[in-house]
Structure 1
Amino acid sequence: MALKRKPPENNVRRVMSMGSNLPGVTTNKNGHTVQFESFAERILLLLLERDKTVLDYRSQPEIFEFKGQDGKLRRYTPDFKVWKVDGTIEIHEVTRTERQAQLRISEREVGAREICQDRQWKYIVHTEQTLPQKTEGTNLLALLRYRLKAYAHISVIAAVLEHLRQNSEVHLPICVEYVAHQLDMAESVVFTTLCYLLWHGELCTDLQKLLIFDSTFVPGTTVWLPKEGSNNGE
């Protein structure tokens, strides 16, 4: 999905390619176009998309103005604005660890935190050390395509949940085979329904291990029911 010259609605600027970054756009859980300017930002969007406490989020939401150490006015556009279901608002910024020591970045963070504090918002900085690593990001991207309700086959969901209530932890390929046999149904339908449940946190798996290869679950991957009261299935 390519951007035209103008930014999406409610974005004050459009993201740009700077050679080594990976800009792009996606559609969030509420149908809004959201921009990302790097792979790290793309991974953060996956976390926001899965997070049940997140009501909505937008990219490049507004321009912050603050004074630097030299007294001159600075302008800065944060990466994302996030609305939570409890009514709180957060500003999320993605950067690299080595950049945080730069005066421009440290001034920006101080200024943004002061603005957010005055508004009773929360300012959160993410780096490559706090965001999911490569394998988890790969798994989340693979599961993303199955987030839609169309993949939630009701009879499969019921059979999977019942199977897991009787077996605390099972191998995903075996679960697919078992449920498909029980329902006399194509394994592909069971697979996509399991992916839907995993994306929405209705089932748990180890996202630090490669989960999917060539539209099938990797042998040895396991699945289990989330503990009562947990937010996500990871």
Structure 2
Amino acid sequence: MIMTELPWLVAAFVTGLLSAGHCLPMCGGIAMALGQQTRGDPAWLRAMKLSAHGTGRIMTYAVLGWTLGALVMLLPLQKLQPLAVAVRVLSGLMLIAMGLYIGRWWLGLTKLERLGAKLWQPVKTWFARALQNKGLAPSLLAGMLWGLLPCGLVYSALTVAAARMDAADAALYMLAFGLGTLPAMLLPALLSSSFQFSNALRRVSALALIGFGLWIAWHNGAGLWSADDPHQHHHHHSLSAN
């Protein structure tokens, strides 16, 4: 199973890395503030606190992935093969939307962020309170709440995770995705200053995500139009998320 999942985990990690063009302007300010808050601490304590922030955020991603994956498992997708394939095609389309968002060619994901912003309002207060407290436990809590920040890229990653149609797989996907976002968040925190992502690198990463999304959508779309043909059994193997 590990070998089977490895390509998807690598893809999730790389997706997180490629999201740096959005993560830096979106969350770089928060990461920088967290880094400044720990500047007076000994090096070992500062490292522990920053690790707690990142760990908490990734934990939230994993929990969200597990929850969404568990909900998808309740659907009779195995009996409705075309619907199952459609869910996987949607995950590819969401990756394309992610790439377009990072490249700033289409900002449709901001609509999802506006919806998430309504849920963020009460969490924002708890987040601010967690930041005021010192210690590893508040740092971990702040990181966990940070993971709930409205983000179209996280929503896209969750869609891909849900397409795994397995709670554990979805949690692992989001865990790998979160690990991929760590470098972009650690730089502002460690430097305690803003860090710019060049337009060229941002566009390259955006095109890579679009290409990945196109591959997923096309690969699974092949199964959509062959799913109703009883003479074609190979469509089961064409589902890249299996």
* Same fold? TM cut 0.5: no
Quickly name the TM-score band, shorter chain normalised. Answer: under 0.3
State the TM-score, normalized to the length of structure 1: 0.23
Greater strand share, structure number: 1
Larger radius of gyration: 1
Greater helix share, structure number: 2
State the TM-score, normalized to the length of structure 2: 0.23
Higher relative contact order, chain-length normalized (CA < 8 Å, sep 6+): 2
